[in-house]
Amino acid sequence: MNVSKFGKKLAVQSGIGQLMDDLGAALSARHKVLMLGGGNPAHIPEVQRCFRRSMTALLQDGDRFERAVGNYDPPVGNVEFVEALAALLRGQFGWEIGPQNIALTNGSQLAFFILFNLFAGDYEDGTKKKVLLPLLPEYIGYCDVGLTRDFFTAQKPLIEQIDGHTFKYHVDFDRLRIGDDIGAVCISRPTNPTGNVPTNEEVERLRALARARGVPLIIDNAYGMPFPNIVFTDAKPHWDESTILCMSLSKLGLPAARTGIVIAREEVAERVARVNAVMSLAPGGMGTAIVTDLVRSGEIIRLSREVIKPFYQEKARQALEQVHQSLAGIDYRVHRPEGAFFMWLWFPNLPITSRQLYQRLKQRNVLVIPGHHFFPGLAEPWPHVNECLRVSYAQNHEVVVAGLQAIAEEVRRA
Ligand SMILES: Cc1ncc(COP(=O)(O)O)c(C=O)c1O
């Protein structure tokens, strides 16, 4: 089929498309697949009970259910939710925001498509701008959202060796330049795929640099504070008028609700809503219908702090222990798990590429994500790109144990 440039750019198989195909197939598979690949959140019983209670209240409370499913929300998203969230964030962090600073999207993935293409790409004066990713590796879902070519620019990180087997990536500020060709700077914090939480100082320096150049710092807070709060360090959340904070209901446990949240200065939020109107009329309202009361009462904060965070922190501890046990005797490193729910494994001098390792594992019905997908915008060659794997530890521990065992066997055999 002959299609337009748009079709050739977007309607093709991408890294994120492959990942979501694998995820869907694994979750509906009749044969057993060890799913350590996708970014699906865990099913945490206490959290699920809470959503079930909200849903029951919605069904039993007058015509709330009929209104939730029977009406379009405005392009900015459900007004009651937006008001409740603005109040929550003002109260929790003292941020000077109101409902005018918030726009919802059908999943935060769509928010990145909108925001990146708002700030990067071709400008009317003939200039062309890019999104700068100052800390690689970075989220696979960004890679294909740009509507123009050469959409990203990025640089190698610094690697802090914490002990014989543990490391942490840092922004290499000595090499970081925000030139006239940069339209926005973006980091995910906690970072998918590494579980890194860039430090408060790193965020402050990025904010200052971006602000000095008059470009927004986009912080992808899909795993961050105040919900779902899958953060194990003393990181402080940050927002100001020059920052765009993107959040999501997905990692809280509601990925099917497809609810993304953009917190930005008013004119940015407004533009996101305008794109919503063109692309999808309005964000879906089921996610907000389920959580609005939890936001209003602050219960979402308690749930995140007392249930979700400790749940993943314990899983991280177990997974890390298992990594050291399964990979003993192999030349491996693991990124210090500071948040989100991924182990980022690095096999220095791996004789095969991580893509080949992924394929060998897939033949054994073990799904992981090969590392090369997480380096968008890196122009310089770097063997490291082909030496890493992302492993999710959100699933049952037995799956993680069996998966790591299989990884160890394949690396030994390589
Ligand atoms: C870092 C990061 N950002 C954004 C997203 C998009 O999530 P959603 O579209 O479900 O909000 C994900 C999903 O895995 C993610 O890991």
Q: Is the CB of 198 under 6 A from ligand 1?
A: no
If pLDDT is split at 50, 70 and 90, which confidence band does 38 have? confident
Give residue 204's pLDDT.
97
Give residue 179's pLDDT.
96
Cα-based torsion angle of the residue sequence 354, 360, 362, 368 in order, rounded to the nearest 10 degrees: -30
If pLDDT is split at 50, 70 and 90, which confidence band does 30 have? low
**pLDDT digits 0-9 by tens, 151-169:** 999 999 999 999 999 999 9
Mean predicted lDDT score pLDDT of the chain = 95
The protein residue with its alpha carbon nearest to ligand 1, atom 2, reads 222
**pLDDT digits 0-9 by tens, 247-263:** 999 999 999 999 999 99
If pLDDT is split at 50, 70 and 90, which confidence band does 33 have? confident
If pLDDT is split at 50, 70 and 90, which confidence band does 9 have? confident
> Whose structure tokens read 């949240």?
261
pLDDT of 23 above 80: no
DSSP state letter for 249: S
If pLDDT is split at 50, 70 and 90, which confidence band does 31 have? low
Give residue 29's pLDDT.
65
For ligand 1, the distance from its centroid to the CA atom of residue 109, given in whole angstroms, is 6
If pLDDT is split at 50, 70 and 90, which confidence band does 8 have? confident
Measured from the Cα of 191, ligand 1's closest atom is: 1
DSSP state letter for 272: H
Higher pLDDT, 29 or 103: 103
The protein residue with its alpha carbon nearest to ligand 1, atom 3, reads 222
The protein residue with its alpha carbon nearest to ligand 1, atom 13, reads 39
Give residue 190's pLDDT.
98
CA nearest neighbour of 291 among 78, 13, 121: 78
Over residues 45-71, the mean pLDDT reads 97
pLDDT of 72 above 90: yes
| Cα Rg of the chain, angstroms | 21
**pLDDT digits 0-9 by tens, 337-377:** 999 999 999 999 899 999 999 999 999 999 999 999 999 99
Among 17-31, 200-214, 300-314, 315-329, whose mean pLDDT is lowest? 17-31
For ligand 1, the distance from its centroid to the CA atom of residue 220, given in whole angstroms, is 8
The secondary structure of 124-173 as a DSSP string is TTS-EEEEEE-SSS--GGGTT--SSSS-EEE-PPEEEEEETTEEEEE--T
For ligand 1, the distance from its centroid to the CA atom of residue 145, given in whole angstroms, is 13
